[in-house]
Amino acid sequence: MTSNPEEPCLQVQMLGGFSLSWGGKLVAGSTKSSESQFNYLMQLLLHHGENGVSRDMLERVLFEDRDIQDIHHAARSVIYNAKRKLRAAGLPDVNYIEQRKGICYWNPQVPVKEDAAEFERLYRQAEEASDREEKVKLYMEACHLYTGEFLPQQTGVVWVAQEAKRYRALFCSCVERAVRQLRLTQDFPQMEELGIYATAINPLSDWETVTMEALVAMGRYEDARRLYDDTVDLYFQEQGLRPSSRMMELFEKLGTQMEHQYDALDDIQRKLSEGGGNAYGG
């Protein structure tokens, strides 16, 4: 669901945490238990957008396995209270949640901008772009919109876990495709920055190899060696793992290039020494 940038819209964060904002003011995002059902309801409705959510799924997510005598009445109460909360927050006075044939929909009269949907939109747009510069720009924008796991505090909810897995895979694909383009254009500074970002967002996922490759390509051998040592220590301490085959391959390449560098320096020094007896001037 997209919105006109000039008109007010409900800003929705789903990646790295959850929040709702309207007109720059926070509507939801608190971890208070009293607001949890409101949060669950909004997450479901806003993420599923025009496809809607079945009443059965909505009730299952809102109440889980609790023994409630009239679950339909309980769901109606949650929806009623949500509408009151949204109206009090200053949203336009419309029927925010519509129900048709057992499906609940968010009213499109209130525009929504969701970070997860925007991330996926930019990724798909990058896939279709024919201009390489535009493709890289879109991939990079998409990567930086992914600020963490999808609804990380709700990992025990089935639909959230499924979406989190899907978005994680999209992020990995996005980084890999951006790196492929940056490698072709030899834009190693931007490749280094992307590797650092991906490592911070998705730790222990071997993204250090992207940074290391960029450092080696730029001739920053000491920085690459330090990164390798730090990564080996981190992986072993956290997971008891040895470096990946890709990391080892880059380390061997690093060693070879450093040997060539030192050989070249020795050769220059030798030639300077051989020419030390030459007289210059008239």
Alpha carbon dihedral 239, 245, 251, 253, in 10-degree steps, equals -170
Q: State residue 70's pLDDT score.
A: 85
Q: State residue 257's pLDDT score.
A: 59
Domain boundary among 113, 146, 164: 113
Q: Are residues 126 and 107 in the same domain?
A: no
Residue 282 lies in a domain: no
Q: Are residues 212 and 155 in the same domain?
A: yes
Residues of the chain with confidence (pLDDT) below 50: 2, 33-34, 262-269, 271-273, 275-282
Number of domain units in the chain: 2
Residue 279 lies in a domain: no
Q: Are residues 120 and 106 in the same domain?
A: no
Q: Are residues 90 and 178 in the same domain?
A: no
List C-alpha distances in Å: 194 to 136, 169, 180.
11, 16, 12
* Residue 93 belongs to domain with CATH number: 1.10.10.10
Q: Are residues 163 and 226 in the same domain?
A: yes
Q: State residue 281's pLDDT score.
A: 37
Domain boundary among 91, 113, 135: 113
Q: Are residues 127 and 252 in the same domain?
A: yes
Q: Are residues 62 and 152 in the same domain?
A: no
The label of the residue with tokens 């024919």 reads 130
Residue 166 lies in a domain: yes
Q: Are residues 107 and 122 in the same domain?
A: no
How many Å from the N-terminal Cα to the C-terminal Cα in the chain?
Answer: 81
Q: Are residues 109 and 142 in the same domain?
A: no
Q: Are residues 47 and 61 in the same domain?
A: yes
Give the residue among 197, 186, 192, 229 at the shortest CA–CA distance from 214.
Answer: 192
Residue 210 lies in a domain: yes
Q: Are residues 109 and 121 in the same domain?
A: no
Q: State residue 6's pLDDT score.
A: 60
Q: State residue 274's pLDDT score.
A: 52
Q: Are residues 106 and 222 in the same domain?
A: no
Q: State residue 30's pLDDT score.
A: 56
* Residue 197 belongs to domain with CATH number: 1.25.40.10
Mark 205-234 as b/e (b = at least 16 C-beta within 10 Å). ebbbbbbbbbbbbeebbebbbebbeebbee
Residue 281 lies in a domain: no
Residue 4 lies in a domain: no
Domain boundary among 59, 94, 113: 113
Residue 216 lies in a domain: yes
Q: What angle do CA 143, 117, 52 make, to 5 degrees?
A: 160
**What range defines the domain where residue 213 resides?**
115-273
Tens-digit pLDDT profile for residues 65-80: 777 778 888 899 999 9
Residue 93 lies in a domain: yes
